[in-house]
Amino acid sequence: MRRVILLLIVLVLPFPLSAEEDYLTRRDGFLLIWESIRRPSEEIASPKFTDVQEVDEGFQEINYAAIRGILDSEEYFVPDGRLMMSDALLWIMRSRNVAELSHMQMNNLSGLLKMYPIIDFEGDLGSIEVTRDSLVNLLRTLDTMMMEEVHTVSYYADDFHGNGTAFGETFDMNDITAAHRTMPVDTLVEVTNIENGNQVTVRINDRGPYVDGRDMDLSLAAFEKIADLSRGVLRARFKRLGDEQLIDTCTHTVRRYQKRITRDIRFHRGVPHSWNIGEKISLGANRWFVIRGITYPDGTFVKMQDFVGAKERFHFTPSKEGEYVFKIGTADGRLRDMRMEVHGCTAL
């Protein structure tokens, strides 16, 4: 009898244990959503959550998302708690800016799911635990739905040329930019004219349009790339590529960054693995670090002792193609080399 009981334990135990591993914590689930939108987080003056510490994975992203309204900023985030479907769906909708933030609260969730039916379930969504596979499937389903939508696009030009945009820039009708009501500033969007297949990649730098039935205003230069100006209005599909800091404007590939100097000292963004001539990088970290020197593509090493504080930045603009090596250190003398490959490119 004892052997039978032991055999049953061996046969039964592994299954719930393996299934348990499939479910996501709130931290892991949110970071998966955040990574999928290719949007940088910015340093924060005061954390929103008392249970996510500065040394914890996702500290900056989680707190920045709370400031931006993607996460509800109550006192506790409960990072190691199970991610439930109702929260996951709301975070996904907010991360994709499917509506104004004020219309994406928990009591709006059923209406949002009627607009974008990415899950077929009529019960209590707050009782369903989310697995990695199910979350990835939800993200892909919503992104596909949004890319298949047809939008009405117009343009703006002389009447606004030289005026300030909603984000403090000066509008230049000859730049390749666009206005959108909800997408974050500096988001790159591939706009495809469905009538002729012509495409242009624009950067969001303004809010609008504020005409019923219009979904995006292109700058004059951007509109001209995909249609004749005499059209005035066109029908298009949007593909949201990500933030210009995380997407290479020449290749449209995701930029990867070397983020950690040590376990406790990390860049807000980091040294990119690849970059383009003439684009400025800005390095800042959560604690003091020092730039000891830079090796240029021709082998020249420029020695430095540039200490950078937590609220400061080190700026650098590469002027040659090839590999640059940054020798970066800490206050206690530890050193790390970070390599960056620079290419020649004509953006957009």
pLDDT in tens, 275-292: 989 888 989 998 899 999
What's domain 257-343's architecture?
Answer: Sandwich (2.60)
What is the pLDDT averaged over residues 252-263?
87
The confidence score (pLDDT) of residue 252 equals 73
pLDDT at 155 over 90: yes
Q: Record the pTM.
A: 0.77
Copy the structure tokens of residue 174.
Answer: 């000859």
What's the Cα-to-Cα distance from 129 to each of 36, 121, 125, rounded to whole Å?
20, 13, 9
- pLDDT tier, 16 (very low <50, low <70, confident <90, very high otherwise): very low
Q: What is the pLDDT of residues 85-130, one digit of tens each?
A: 999 999 999 999 999 999 999 999 999 999 999 998 888 999 999 9
Q: Tell me the H-state helices in the chain.
A: 2-12, 14-20, 26-37, 59-67, 85-95, 109-115, 132-148, 220-226
- CB distance 320 to 302 below 8 Å: no
Q: What is the pLDDT of residues 299-344, one digit of tens each?
A: 999 999 999 998 899 999 999 999 999 999 998 889 999 999 999 8
- In 3D space, the residue among 244, 246, 236, 255 whose CA is nearest the CA of residue 147 turns out to be 236
pLDDT at 14 over 90: no
Bridge partners of 200, per DSSP, are: 191
Each domain of the chain, given as residue ranges in start order, spans 21-144, 151-243, 257-343
pLDDT at 256 over 60: yes
Q: Tally DSSP H helices, then E strands, for the chain.
A: 8, 15
pLDDT at 17 over 60: no
SS3 label, residue 303: strand
pLDDT at 49 over 70: yes
Q: What are phi and psi of 236, to 5 degrees?
A: -145, 160
Mean pLDDT over each residue of the chain, to the nearest integer: 90
What is the pLDDT averaged over residues 38-54?
88
Copy the structure tokens of residue 189.
Answer: 């969007």
Rounded Cα distance between 275 and 259, Å, is 15
pLDDT at 1 over 60: no
Peptide bond between residue 16 and the one before it cis (omega within 30 degrees of 0): no
Report domain 151-243's class: mainly beta
Neighbour tally for 140: CB within 10 Å: 12
